[in-house]
A and B are shown apart, each in its own frame.
Chain A
Amino acid sequence: MLGTGLLKGLAVTFRHVVATYVKDLKSFPRRYRKEPVAGQDPSLRGFFTVQYPEERLRMFARFHGCLLQARDPETGDYKCTACRACERACPHGVIVVEGERNPDRESKKKMLVTKFTWDAGRCLFCGLCVEACNFDALRWSQDYELASYDRDALVYDFERLLEKRGA
């Protein structure tokens, strides 16, 4: 009959409206989901919005957040040996590394990092640098709030990249 297609369409949207209210009733008392959830669950019905500042999604393990200079758990010192493998691996030349020989001979750390900048503004977040690092010094953090008001603040220097102590 002429109108059946239209009616079926209306039925679909009506089901969605009802589904959102049913879900509201289930989680009635609190308005925001407190515990962050990793990814969305396909079988869930009802409204889908993550109300951002109050509700947050937990990122997956491999999420490319902000670049991170790892610390050696025992010594708490940085692992980077300024070998510049990451600088060569980057398609955009976004990482600049400078190092010098360690003045005191007998310490295990042969090279010290004098300068290590990473320009988040031009970075592709492809992860080739992290894969190229043989000393497992570079890693991705889970932090995704990297926005800033001026472009220079996007250029991270070594201290900002260094993992916080005890993180």
Chain B
Amino acid sequence: MLRTETLSINMGPQHPSTHGVFRMVLTLDGERVVDLVPHFGYLHRGIEKLAEGRTYLQNVPFTDRLDYISGMSNNLAYALAVEKLAGMGPMPERAEYLRVIMAELTRLANHCVAIGFLLNDLGAFFTPVLYCLRQREYIVDLFEMASGSRMTPSYIRPGGVAGDVPPEFLPAVRKLLAQMPSFIDQLDQLLTGNEILMARMQGVGVLPPERAVALGVTGPLLRASGVPYDVRTAEPYSVYGQLDFDVVTEQGQDAYARYLVRIGEMRQSVRILEQALARLPEGPVMAEGVKRIRPPAGEAYARIEAPKGELGFYLVSDGTPNPYRYHIRATSLANLGALRDMCIGHLVADVVIILGSIDITLGEVDR
């Protein structure tokens, strides 16, 4: 039989469709992937070491830089961890609802970017990504209105929220929510039924449910494999317990199912936002006595349902104003664990789609 040997090619770290400085060494047999070795560390800034030298409040701006597509969610996870560590009492109602509003707005923005750039990898010439980025622009404007900066708001703090929202914030959110469903429908109409898209994404990157759970995969990737696991319902934090929304799951287990889950989640986020806006009470936005955070010795682990999956913060305190150990459970790192499993046996063109459907941010992977 003709002796063919495998070809090993290097994809990344500077590559248009690796969503950041992520590198894969692919071993190919013709066009088919035989093996895949991921490589990280190009964006490693040592946040966990830096955090040990700073106070709990000074660490808040670092959390925006983890998953820089969804800054607010990182703040929320860190804030919940510090509050659990310091044993702070219940937050003022208004702060809780503002947190939910900001977290769900981040989810919308993140899914816009995820779907947009996935289509870019598929080769659609910048049109879907520009529609999505336009929609994200409205959301990011809201963050700038409330916190002063678009992607690194440092708005959600241990103890509540940096400052109350300006008067023109709520009408702007209502105007956005009025237009958001029509945007999602337009995206749906442009993409969901598209035969080329279905041909490219169906049956690609299949991840069976038990393998997904074993690999620690979370978020849309897990729910697209049929496992209805969402931290907002499994371990409700903030005021998610009082809001009703359903966990979007698909049984397709492939890249197309992940796309459908993200579209479904965007619709659910709009529903949550409408409820949160309706029930937003008046009142203070910051718990008292939060100036000097000095938690007692001990440890705490808090996790949230970030747009990409489960984001956890494990903090160990030794009674000083600086955290003793500051560990981040990164969703993208866990989800990347499943990349090799899904890519083997596919063509090179599919590897890009599978990576896009996982939706990773390297800031979170490398920390």
- Give A residues with C-beta under 8 Å from B: 2-6, 8-9, 11-13, 16, 39-43, 48, 59-64, 89-91, 124-128, 131, 140
Which residues of chain B are near A131, meaning CB under 8 Å? 162
Considering the complex of A and B, which 5 residue pairs feature the smallest CB-CB distances, nearest first? A5-B193, A126-B61, A91-B58, A42-B179, A62-B148
Once A and B bind, how many residue pairs between them come within 8 Å at the CB atom?
94
* Identity of the chain A residue whose Cβ is nearest the Cβ of B187 in the assembled complex: A12
A85 to B189, CA, bound (A): 55
**Contact at A13–B145, with CB atoms within 8 Å?**
no
- Give B residues with C-beta under 8 Å from A: 54, 57-62, 127, 131, 134, 137-138, 141, 144-149, 152, 154, 162-163, 166, 172, 175-176, 178-180, 186, 189-198
Kindly provide the distance from the CB of A93 to the nearest chain B CB, expressed in whole angstroms.
10
**Majority DSSP secondary structure for residues of A touching B:** loop
Task: Pick 20 A–B contacts, CB within 8 A, sort by A.
Answer: A3-B195, A4-B193, A5-B193, A6-B194, A9-B189, A12-B190, A16-B131, A39-B144, A39-B145, A42-B176, A43-B179, A60-B144, A60-B166, A61-B166, A63-B144, A63-B148, A91-B62, A126-B60, A126-B61, A128-B60
Kindly provide the distance from the CB of B285 to the nearest chain A CB, expressed in whole angstroms.
14
**Contact at A64–B149, with CB atoms within 8 Å?**
yes
Q: Given A91-B54, A124-B61, A126-B154, does the pair A39, B172 have CB atoms closer than 8 Å?
A: yes
Which residues of chain A are near B146, meaning CB under 8 Å? 62
Which residues of chain A are near B141, meaning CB under 8 Å? 39-40, 60
**Contact at B189–A8, with CB atoms within 8 Å?**
yes
* Identity of the chain B residue whose Cβ is nearest the Cβ of A3 in the assembled complex: B195
Kindly provide the distance from the CB of A129 to the nearest chain B CB, expressed in whole angstroms.
11
Which residues of chain A are near B57, meaning CB under 8 Å? 89, 128
Q: Given A6-B195, A126-B60, does the pair A13, B190 have CB atoms closer than 8 Å?
A: yes
Kindly provide the distance from the CB of B221 to the nearest chain A CB, expressed in whole angstroms.
24
Which residues of chain B are near A3, meaning CB under 8 Å? 195
Which residues of chain A are near B176, meaning CB under 8 Å? 42
Which residues of chain A are near B195, meaning CB under 8 Å? 2-3, 5-6
Kindly provide the distance from the CB of A57 to the nearest chain B CB, expressed in whole angstroms.
9
Which residues of chain B are near A9, meaning CB under 8 Å? 189-191, 193-194
